[in-house]
Amino acid sequence: MNVKLASIFARRSVRKFTSEPVDDLTVKDLLEAAMAGPSAMAVDPWAFVVVRERERLAEMAEILPYGKMLGHAPLAIVVCGDRNRTHRGLESYMIQDCSAAVQNLLLAASMLGLGACWLGTHPNVERMEALGRLLALPEHLVAFATLAIGHAAEFPPPRTRYDATRVYYEQYK
């Protein structure tokens, strides 16, 4: 692993958190990093719902089958795609743009000493609709991804998942 890329390799999914809250300035830093992500034609088709209420986090844990850690995480950020702001009105651009924002958010959390886990929401309609109701999302916003965030209580070691058998040069052969 190239040490210059250590921040990328250190980013790992964390599912266990301490009870220490994530302060407002750190949340702003996370959101600023997310919004620094690339966006087709710079339309920024995203909105972010910050959730800290224990009861709401517990409800989110029930909605997302692999999100049980939300019941113990001090923070969740739901990345929402804005159907009214997609490049050319195409959902595929919104998905790409929101994915870049999520990756920036995950990297920022790791670089700030926090743990985070990306919980799949889109394209599961049941999950998207349930989160939409819980978070009172307007019709044009879709719950795209949910991130459980907090001070890590576990520390998976850095790693690379490089696989030379999946790399092709000039053509797929």
Question: Which three-class secondary structure string do you get for 31-85?
Answer: HHHHCCCCCHHHCCCEEEEEECCHHHHHHHHHHCCCCHHHHCCCEEEEEEEEHHH
Cα 106 to the center of its chain, rounded Å: 6
66: how many CB neighbours lie within 10 A of its CB? 12
Q: Which fold has domain 19-155?
A: NADH Oxidase (3.40.109)
**Domain locations in the chain?**
19-155
Q: Is the pLDDT of residue 146 over 90?
A: yes
**Which of 142, 129, 137 minimizes the C-alpha distance to 80?**
142
Average pLDDT on 69-86 reads: 97
* Cis preceding linkage at 123, omega within 30: yes
Average pLDDT on 142-165 reads: 96
Q: Residue 1's pLDDT is what? A: 83
112: how many CB neighbours lie within 10 A of its CB? 14
Identify whether the C-beta of residue 58 lies closer than 8 Å to the C-beta of residue 67.
no
How does residue 123 score in pLDDT terms, banded at 50, 70 and 90? very high
Q: Is the pLDDT of residue 173 over 90?
A: no
Q: Residue 15's pLDDT is what? A: 97
Q: Residue 156's pLDDT is what? A: 93
When the pLDDT of each residue in the chain is averaged and rounded to a whole number, the result is: 97
Average pLDDT on 135-144 reads: 97
pLDDT tens-digit map of 16-72: 999 999 999 999 999 999 999 999 999 999 999 999 999 999 999 999 999 999 999
Residue 154 — φ and ψ, nearest 5°?
-140, 150
Average pLDDT on 138-164 reads: 96
Identify whether the C-beta of residue 117 lies closer than 8 Å to the C-beta of residue 105.
no
Q: Which residue's entry shows tokens 């001090």?
A: 74
